[in-house]
Amino acid sequence: MVVPVVNETDNSQTRSGRRPGRSGTRDTILASARGLFAQHGFDKTSVRAIAADAGVDSALIHHYFGTKRDLFVASIALPIDPSDTLRQVLSVDTDDLGRALLTGVLGVWESENSDAVIAAFRTMISSGDPALLRTFLMQVVLRDIATRVDDPAGSALERVNLVAAQMSGLLLSRHILKLEPLASMPAERVVDWVAPTLQRYLTGPLPVGHGSEESS
């Protein structure tokens, strides 16, 4: 009796609307996500749009990556999950947020994953569109912190924007430009210098004339 041979490769290609191969599908999703996040930003990019661009079901994206935020982190090739660090930052008192945030971020940048973290940062800078870096800072790093420092004057966005500017400038100067003596300064000393400024941005008094206050 002759046993028919099943051609598995041909079978896999009969599924219309799907990219063959698990690793290939995952890479295609990441490429689509990276492009759409850079083009439209985090809020205006839906999982459904990424799935359509990649030619897969939305359920497959959730299967591989979980949430849209997790997909964004994967799309910029960050080697760690920032949620672990941010969870520790958000557990401290509001008056200690500046020091906890800077300590956590420097700890990630100067860990055993430092080369991959710096590579991801370089990719976001050189992507040709500032949306990737802006999205990472505002939607991943500072989004939950903003809810902790909002006030009746609605200053949270201004406050976290100033924090983002300070931190991105510090990381660029220390790890990309390698300005001395900042580049070789112990992390604890950097925190002592910079954390009070971050804390002032987050919880310090607003400038006179901000919001409903009247200038003198």
CATH architecture observed for domain 82-203: Orthogonal Bundle (1.10)
Instruction: Report the pLDDT value the prediction gives residue 72, as an integer from 0 to 100.
Output: 82
Q: Say which CATH topology domain 18-75 has.
A: Arc Repressor Mutant, subunit A (1.10.10)
Distance of alpha carbon 122 from its chain centroid, rounded? 13
Which segment of 45-54, 110-119, 181-190 scores lowest on mean pLDDT?
A: 110-119
For the chain, domain boundaries: 18-75, 82-203
Residue pLDDT, tens place only, 128-152? 556 667 777 787 788 889 989 988 7
* pLDDT over 90, % of the chain: 32
Task: Give the torsion sign (CA, 71, 72, 76, 82).
Answer: negative
Categorize the per-residue pLDDT at 5 as very low, low, confident or very high, splitting at 50, 70 and 90. very low
Categorize the per-residue pLDDT at 50 as very low, low, confident or very high, splitting at 50, 70 and 90. very high
Categorize the per-residue pLDDT at 202 as very low, low, confident or very high, splitting at 50, 70 and 90. very high
- The secondary structure of residue 204, as a DSSP letter, is S
Judged against a pLDDT cut of 70, whether residue 8 lies above it is answered with no
What burial letters (b/e) apply to 23-53, b meaning 16+ CB within 10 Å?
Answer: eebbebbbebbbbbbbeebbeebebeebbeb
55 versus 134: the higher-pLDDT residue is 55
* pLDDT over 70, % of the chain: 75
Average of pLDDT values for 36-51?
84
Mean pLDDT of the chain: 79
Q: What's the per-residue H, E or C state across 117-185?
A: HHHHHHHHHCCCCCHHHHHHHHHHHCHHHHHHHCCCCCCHHHHHHHHHHHHHHHHHHHHHCCCCCCCCC
Residue pLDDT, tens place only, 67-107? 888 888 787 766 667 777 788 888 999 999 999 999 988 88
* 77 vs 113: CA distance, rounded Å: 12
Average of pLDDT values for 175-179?
88
Judged against a pLDDT cut of 50, whether residue 112 lies above it is answered with yes
Q: Do 76 and 124 form a contact (C-beta atoms < 8 A)?
A: yes
Task: Give the torsion sign (CA, 144, 145, 147, 148).
Answer: positive
* 199 vs 93: CA distance, rounded Å: 12
Instruction: Report the pLDDT value the prediction gives residue 67, as an integer from 0 to 100.
Output: 85
CA atoms within 13 A on the CB side of 21: 5
Instruction: Report the pLDDT value the prediction gives residue 36, as an integer from 0 to 100.
Output: 85
